């Protein structure tokens, strides 16, 4: 499955901590878009789609949430609970996000602009395309 955890270097001192994200250094793509998900309701589940051609790096900069990742053959559950690491998702991977904590802020960097056509929102369609 085309996913990877990336650990970020923490620049910290007695005042607190700082992490810098830089394209082609610790973010392995051109960053065209950044969005963040917050204020999620308890028991909400989001996602339910795959992308045809998009690289994304998801970082839980506050609180925690879980990802279900599915490449059509294998499924994996990953918890994001620290601003010090990010989940890189590439390729055709179905994703669902769940178990958002009250204070969760999930920030996502993407290598392209928002395009509705890049989404596969039907699971059967996803399975067909993932088998090609
Ligand atoms: C993903 C997971 C991790 C935009 O207009 N621009 C944007 O850049 C995005 C991301 C969304 N939207 C619109 C489309 C919908 O009307 O915002 C609304 C909510 O988006 P969506 O239902 O796709 O949100 P999630 O949480 O299900 O999925 C999002 C991303 O869309 C997706 O790329 O991988 O987070």
**Domain boundaries along the sequence of the chain:** 3-10+19-130
What's the mean pLDDT in 46-64?
Answer: 98
- Architecture of the CATH domain 3-10+19-130: Sandwich (2.60)
CA distance 99 to 36: 16
Atom 5 in ligand 1: residue holding the nearest Cα: 114
Inform me whether the pLDDT recorded for 115 exceeds 90: yes
pLDDT the model gives residue 102: 95
Inform me whether the pLDDT recorded for 131 exceeds 90: no
Give the residue, out of 41, 70, 108, with the most ligand 1 atoms within 8 A of its beta carbon, to mutate for a pocket test.
108
pLDDT the model gives residue 7: 98
- Please, which residues bridge with residue 18 across strands? 11
Inform me whether the pLDDT recorded for 42 exceeds 90: no
Residue 7 near residue 21, CB atoms below 8 Å? no
What atom of ligand 1 comes closest to residue 89's alpha carbon? 34
Residue 8 near residue 84, CB atoms below 8 Å? yes
What's the mean pLDDT in 63-71?
Answer: 97
Mean residue pLDDT of the chain comes to 97
How many angstroms is it from 49 CA to the middle of ligand 1? 10
Please give the positions annotated as active site: 49
């Amino acid at each position: 499955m085309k996913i990877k955890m990336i650990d970020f270097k923490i620049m910290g001192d007695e005042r607190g901590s700082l992490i810098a994200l830089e394209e082609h250094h610790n973010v392995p793509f051109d960053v065209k878009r950044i969005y963040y998900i917050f204020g999620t309701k308890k028991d909400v589940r989001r996602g339910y789609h795959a992308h045809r051609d998009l690289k994304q790096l998801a970082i839980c900069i506050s609180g925690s949430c879980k990802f279900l990742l599915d490449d059509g053959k294998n499924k994996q559950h990953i918890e994001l609970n620290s601003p010090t690491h990010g989940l890189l998702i590439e390729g055709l991977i179905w994703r669902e996000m769940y178990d958002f904590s009250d204070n969760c802020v999930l920030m996502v960097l993407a290598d392209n602009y928002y395009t509705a056509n890049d989404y596969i929102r039907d699971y059967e369609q996803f399975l067909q395309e993932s088998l090609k």
